[in-house]
Amino acid sequence: MPLSKIVSVLATATLVAGHGYISGITANGKQYGGYLVDKYSYMDNPPDTIGWSTTATDLGFVDGSGYQTPDIICHRDAKPGKLTAEVAAGSDVELQWTTWPESHHGPLITYLASCNGDCANVDKSTLKFFKIDAKGLVDGSNPPGTWASDNMISDNNTWTVTIPKDIADGNYVLRNEIIALHSAGNKNGAQNYPQCLNVKVTGGGNAKPTGTAGEQLYKNTDPGILVNIYSPIDQYAMPGPAMYNA
């Protein structure tokens, strides 16, 4: 790599070190590496991973102005991962985030979407996501309060999600995101960090939940998106469609 490009990469990494992404997961006792955006984006032949690639080399976010664009689906200019992690229905999947800034309080939300075939070749605009996990405000007694993101940080930047035991076997995109709300008192101030991974569910049931297209998950005026976390909050309104219940 030319010296000028190395300098540029290092400078970029320094500027954006505070924002994170999913570096890998543990499923069925096996570890799978994710798409290391601040590394693989600068390689001519990056390794195949379960993680979707993006051009978000600034480790930045998608805000409300991009909610009705494809960027909100799996991050900016996302393309499917080539590999798939096998997960058992009813089992836990551990998602390993890189360092996350404590100031970026907010919920963690997880969805699944059937690929109806090989996820490596899926058209992301056809994916219909159903929500399988969502945690938001944990304790609002002392604004800005304690949030799911704080719990994730305290658990070594790890978030654990249970795969519904009744969903049909097959290939799915698992979409996990943090929505940082530190600037969400202003319109388009909320910051979404969507991450997508390919998984193959085994040992499941017959359920095939209906879902919601990525560009229809949120509006920039949703009460859980346009919210001032520095004022007392009695109850946080979780963004997105209703939770899927087995």
pLDDT digits (tens, 9 = 90+) for 68-100: 999 999 999 999 999 999 999 999 999 999 999
The answer, yes or no, to whether residue 7 has pLDDT greater than 70, is no
pLDDT score of 3: 33
* Residue with the two structure tokens 């309060």: 145
Spatial neighbors of 194 by CB under 8 A, at least 6 apart, are 62, 72, 73, 74, 75, 175, 176, 177
Q: Which two tokens stand for residue 85?
A: 């992690």
Mean pLDDT score, 197-221 = 98
Q: What residue ranges define each of the domains in the chain, with the CATH number in brackets?
A: 25-216 (2.70.50.70)
Dist CA 219 CA 58 (whole Å): 24
Spatial neighbors of 123 by CB under 8 A, at least 6 apart, are none
The answer, yes or no, to whether residue 137 has pLDDT greater than 80, is yes
pLDDT score of 187: 97
Q: Which two tokens stand for residue 24?
A: 């890998």
Which band of pLDDT confidence, cut at 50, 70 and 90, is reported for residue 19? confident
- Contact by Cβ (8 Å): 195, 175: yes
Which band of pLDDT confidence, cut at 50, 70 and 90, is reported for residue 18? very low
Question: What is the average pLDDT score of the chain?
Answer: 92
Which band of pLDDT confidence, cut at 50, 70 and 90, is reported for residue 5? very low
pLDDT score of 245: 87
Dist CA 177 CA 150 (whole Å): 14
- What pTM was computed for the model? 0.92
- Contact by Cβ (8 Å): 188, 65: yes
The answer, yes or no, to whether residue 14 has pLDDT greater than 50, is no
Question: Which 3 state secondary structure label does DSSP give 189?
Answer: coil
The answer, yes or no, to whether residue 12 has pLDDT greater than 80, is no
What pLDDT digit, counting tens, does each position of 43-68 carry?
A: 999 999 999 999 999 999 999 999 99
The answer, yes or no, to whether residue 152 has pLDDT greater than 50, is yes
pLDDT score of 141: 92
DSSP at 228? -
Q: Which uninterrupted H or E stretch holds 185?
A: none
85-88/128-135 β-pairing: unpaired
Q: How much of the chain, in percent, has pLDDT values that exceed 70?
A: 92
* Residue with the two structure tokens 């085994």: 202
pLDDT score of 239: 98
pLDDT score of 225: 98
